[in-house]
């Protein structure tokens, strides 16, 4: 079983099992959508790449759009998974005494996730601007939830005097910019450069910590 296959199994295997053909279709669609974009990918192209007949795609997914949503929805869900686990706050209080520990843990966890789902991440950020319903879904189900959770976290560490006193939204914005900036540069913009990942992550964490530390 290939990496690709494992990823697909993990992300898409909810209730019913996926047939072999369905997995092939998903894998082919993911590859093409990531590379050329949803609108520029034809269903016949996906069929050919997946090694199935054109009609087969429409047997499983009523429309091309549904195929996109099938791909994008679980990615969104998994993206915020760590932030919506029930005992997020408890974990927080117990595990991470310093904001730095929290940030480091978040970065490590999320970069690993994005890294092993880079194509899906690409599709997500490339297609959201073009599909209002995706945008809406993203804001409502993802951004809002993350923001709510994070707000408390920020307040928590601000109360402890570990973070500069600043509107939580701004803190979140900067943190997100910094982390996504790293991931995008690392895996999308210049993946071919030589990266010392450990050192670069360390620098990124330091940058964030200093940038957000309270002014003495």
Residues that bind its own copies (CB under 8 A): 36-37, 39-40, 122, 126, 129-130, 166, 169-170, 173-174, 176-178, 180-182, 185, 188, 193, 200, 203-204, 207-208, 210-213, 215
Q: Which is nearer to DNA, 48 or 110 (CB)?
A: 48
Residue nearer to DNA on the CB measure, 57 or 71: 57
Q: Which does 204 bind (CB under 5 to 8 A by kind): its own copies, DNA, none?
A: its own copies
Distances (CA, A) of 95 to 91, 172, 216: 6, 20, 27
Report the nearest approach of its own copies to the CB of residue 4 (Å): 20
Question: Does residue number 60 form part of the binding site for DNA (CB under 7 A)?
Answer: yes
**Nearest distance, CB of residue 48 and its own copies, angstroms:** 14
Q: How far apart are CA 45 and CA 61, in angstroms?
A: 15
Any contact of residue 56 with DNA (CB under 7 A)? Answer: yes
- Residue from 120, 83, 91, 108 nearest 201 by CA: 108
Residue 77: contacted member of its own copies, DNA, none (CB under 5 to 8 Å, by partner type): none
Structure tokens belonging to residue 161: 């005097």
Burial class (CB in 10 A: 0-12, 13-18, 19+), 121: buried
- Kindly give, in sequence order, each residue whose CB lies less than 8 Å from that of residue 34, ignoring residues fewer than 6 positions away: 119, 120, 122, 123, 126
Using DSSP, state whether 54 is helix, strand or coil.
helix
For 84, 101, 103, 129, 160, the CA distances from 97, given in Å and listed in that order, are 20, 7, 11, 38, 10
Selected from 6, 13, 35, 62, the binder of DNA by CB under 7 A is 62
Q: 3 to 22, contacts with DNA by CB under 7 A?
A: 19-22
Binding residues for DNA, rule: CB under 7 A, are 19-22, 41-45, 52-60, 62-65
């Amino acid at each position: 079983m290939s990496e690709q296959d494992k990823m697909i199994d993990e992300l898409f295997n909810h209730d019913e099992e996926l047939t072999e053909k369905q997995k092939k279709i998903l894998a082919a669609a993911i590859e093409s959508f990531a590379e050329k974009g949803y609108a520029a990918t034809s269903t016949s192209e996906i069929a050919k790449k997946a090694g199935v007949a054109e009609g087969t795609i429409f047997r499983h997914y009523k429309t091309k759009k549904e195929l996109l949503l099938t791909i994008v929805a679980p990615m969104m869900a998994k993206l915020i998974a760590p932030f919506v686990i029930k005992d997020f706050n408890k974990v927080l209080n117990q595990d991470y005494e310093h904001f730095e520990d929290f940030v480091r843990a978040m970065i490590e966890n999320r970069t690993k996730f994005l890294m092993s789902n880079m194509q899906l991440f690409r599709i997500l950020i490339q297609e959201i601007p073009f599909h209002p319903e995706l945008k809406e879904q993203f804001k409502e189900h993802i951004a809002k939830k993350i923001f709510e959770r994070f707000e408390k976290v920020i307040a928590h560490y601000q109360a402890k005097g570990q973070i500069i006193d600043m509107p939580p939204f701004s803190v979140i914005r900067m943190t997100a910019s910094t982390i996504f900036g790293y991931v995008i540069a690392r895996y999308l913009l210049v993946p071919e450069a030589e990266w010392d990942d450990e050192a670069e992550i360390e620098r990124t964490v330091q940058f964030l910590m200093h940038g957000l530390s309270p002014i003495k």
